[in-house]
Structure 1
């Protein structure tokens, strides 16, 4: 039951992240601008961490899960299951968003659809190398903060939502004009599948670069916060949630 609960949280959390945060860009970007979109990403992640953090850790991001794995806080089998749930949630969230966006007359849902890009698909025309480095650096920031505030665990306490959400919002402000600020392979895959065209041909960068950033963050965190931690299995999140309820 604990296994199913944690995986359900990762699936639902990633679904809501894509639908609400990417949805802010697709459905309301014209009205709320870059700052509003960045706040939408940060605030929804804050809410999700507060809701699911004590249960699954609220990774909702394969790069975060890879960071936890490289930091020795997650068992490989658990990481693989988390990745499956996250990618499935990202696709489901994008599908739901596509259905909603298709009901808005005149809204362009092909080719862009909140997908990430470089070159001609970047607001500032950033090169492929620049896009790769930007995604690595921005994901590094996000995953490093997650690892730091989780204090050696693979789960996040409710109070961790604020710094994680703030880091995500800041990274969105910086990276939005550059690449659309992925930092999350599951967030990139879902919208790209529905955008099609160049979004799919450029997708490789937004799958690979965030994973590199997450792995580097884990290595750096071992140097700045050298505290050993036992790897978490899927049986542990429920125990963490029970402990949180008793505090």
Structure 2
């Protein structure tokens, strides 16, 4: 239960910090943090929580990561569902808190986006479904490779949170224009349910693509990271 509580709190922090920066601060008049600031915010949430709860739950904060770690032989199947439930609930609670805060401003309209992920007309750069699919699969694949590599017992000890946080920052710098960056079904779900409409209709992609990418990343690392010669 402590591990599940840690996953709940960690995922809450990820969505509140990352999506909160996008909703509240990205385009704030004259001093908005923009794409670079939002990218850094997502990376910082993972970096800080990895140091805070990594020793308690492993700091997955992401159903795709949990599934990828299972496929990579680092996580038991029996814990997959409880972890995913805790992550999704954490994301939804963070989305609710963010909704309450954001709705305190005049003219707020969650249906305009609310940091939701999308493709086609709802992609920041109007990218197609195929482009969004490929982006999410590839970004999540490399995210898992970094996670598995940085936490390998042969890797330098104590530096994994930094590598993983910076990897997530880089992923956002690349893919915010395409999908607003998911690589995390809990992150997508946490805000989509408050945005409603199109965000819920397109949510399927941001479950399927990250999970496929995570499985590919796990398979790739099991091959390159094998100690067999």
Normalised-by-shorter TM-score class: over 0.9
CA distance in 2: counterparts of 1:28 and 1:179, whole angstroms = 19
Residue equivalent to 2:212: 212
Matched, 1:12 2:12: no
CA distance in 2: counterparts of 1:198 and 1:207, whole angstroms = 15
CA distance in 1: counterparts of 2:108 and 2:52, whole angstroms = 32
Residue equivalent to 1:173: 173
Q: Is the 8 A contact 1:53 1:158 kept in 2?
A: no
Matched, 1:125 2:126: yes
| CA apart distance, 1:199 | 0.5
Structure 1, gaps ≥5 residues long: 229-247
Residue equivalent to 1:22: 19
Q: How many residues align?
A: 222
Relative distance call for 1:210 and 1:16 in structure 2 (3 A) is same
Q: Is the 8 A contact 1:54 1:158 kept in 2?
A: no
Q: Is the 8 A contact 1:90 1:190 kept in 2?
A: yes
Residue equivalent to 1:245: none
| CA apart distance, 1:200 | 0.7
> What's the C-alpha RMSD, in Å, of the aligned pairs?
1.4
CA distance in 1: counterparts of 2:16 and 2:99, whole angstroms = 9
Q: Residues 1-247 of structure 1: matches in 2 within 5 Å?
A: 4-30=1-27, 31-151=32-152, 158-227=158-227
Relative distance call for 1:200 and 1:172 in structure 2 (3 A) is same
Relative distance call for 1:179 and 1:208 in structure 2 (3 A) is same
CA deviation string 1:158-203 (max 9, x = no partner): 5211110110000001110100010000000110000001111111
CA distance in 2: counterparts of 1:208 and 1:222, whole angstroms = 21
Relative distance call for 1:97 and 1:208 in structure 2 (3 A) is same
CA distance in 2: counterparts of 1:22 and 1:161, whole angstroms = 20
Secondary structure at the counterpart of residue 84 of structure 1: helix
CA distance in 1: counterparts of 2:46 and 2:94, whole angstroms = 14
| CA apart distance, 1:104 | 1.6
4+ long deviations beyond 4 Å: none
